[in-house]
Amino acid sequence: MAEGKTQIAVLSGKGGTGKTMLSVNLAAAIENSLYVDCDVEEPNGHLFLKPSTENEKNVFVQHPKVCEQSCNGCRLCVKFCNFNALAYIQEKLMVFEDICHSCGGCALVCPQKAISEEDRTIGKISEGKSQNVKVLTGVLNPGEQSGVPIISELVKMCRKEAGTTIIDCPPGSSCVVMDSIKDADYCILVAEPTIFGASNLEMVYELVKLFNKPFGVVLNKCLKDKNPAEEFCKEKGITVVGKIPFDHRLGKLNGDGQIAVRESKLYKRMFSDLYVRVAKEVKHETVINP
């Protein structure tokens, strides 16, 4: 962990578990925090934080552009492309931009130097402010296959920031989630109190173990009944850093797009206390794993 910087990633096995609710409220409960929405296919942290837009930039990827006059149809590029993004059909090289991974390899292998690279916008990053919270939001354009380049750019931007960063990760355990937690000092896994909740928790648990990241669980929507997600934590010896009760008022504030900690002292205390427990865990992990 870099001096004066802490990155906390918030994950869940599926959408709708309360990941964004927890992320935005934690960010709002901390002085001068940075909230980063890496859920680029469906970013909705901004619907709660309602930040100003101070800066916006497009994110590009490069894709091949073919010079038909120079191409002699040798098909070396087609053979090279592992993603089947090239095909030589009716004496013409076709590029399927949607499945191209922008590796640049086809341009390198072309003996005729017939392939050059062209920029294509796949989305954008907005930078803004919401009271005490700086907000970075990544947005993937509809129909684009991979948000990884936007997440990589967000991760790069976070490296320049001091203080505490809360990263709202995409749901699940795919490569976009892996990219989002790359620099995280600590991961919070959010889980619902159901059998499905426990099975979704297991997915992200396997991921953070694979990446060797320190982590703890926040159990959301807790009732008095048996909680399979909590049972899973007990069984695996996982630290539960917080329990958020099933609470109609919190649900209503969240449903109305409000930040609970800005609406009530009770919630301000609840999320501040949760952050204190998480910060203690981060410190503990830093001491044993410097």
**Residues forming the site for ligand SF4 (CB under 6 A):** 64, 66, 71-77, 80-81, 83, 85-86, 88, 93, 100-106, 110, 112, 114-115
Q: Closest separation between CB of residue 120 and ligand SF4, Å? A: 11
* 5: helix, strand or coil: strand
| Residue with Cβ nearer ligand SF4 (112 or 286) | 112
The whole-angstrom separation of Cα 172 and Cα 65 is 34
| Beta strand pairing call for 115-130 and 133-140 | antiparallel
Smaller CB distance to ligand SF4: residue 66 or 270? 66
Q: How far is the CB of 276 from ligand SF4 (least distance, A)?
A: 47
Tokens of 117: 């690279």
Q: Cα-atom radius of gyration of the chain, to the nearest Å? A: 22
Nearer to ligand SF4, 57 or 75 (CB): 75
Is the CB of 98 or the CB of 231 nearer to ligand SF4?
A: 98
CB nearer ligand SF4, residue 176 or residue 278: 176
Can you name the residues that pair with 92 across neighbouring β-strands?
89
Closest alpha carbon to 59 in 11, 5, 127 = 127
CB of 97 to ligand SF4, least distance (A): 8
Using CA atoms in the order 254, 170, 243, 235, what is the torsion angle rounded to 10 degrees?
Answer: 150
Cα 260 to Cα 28: distance, rounded to the nearest angstrom: 9
Q: Least Å distance between CB 179 and ligand SF4?
A: 18
Q: Which is nearer to ligand SF4, 34 or 59 (CB)?
A: 59
CA angle 55, 100, 78 (to 5 degrees): 155
CB of 63 to ligand SF4, least distance (A): 6
Contact (CB, 8 A) for 19 and 169: yes
Least distance to ligand SF4, CB of residue 118, Å:
11
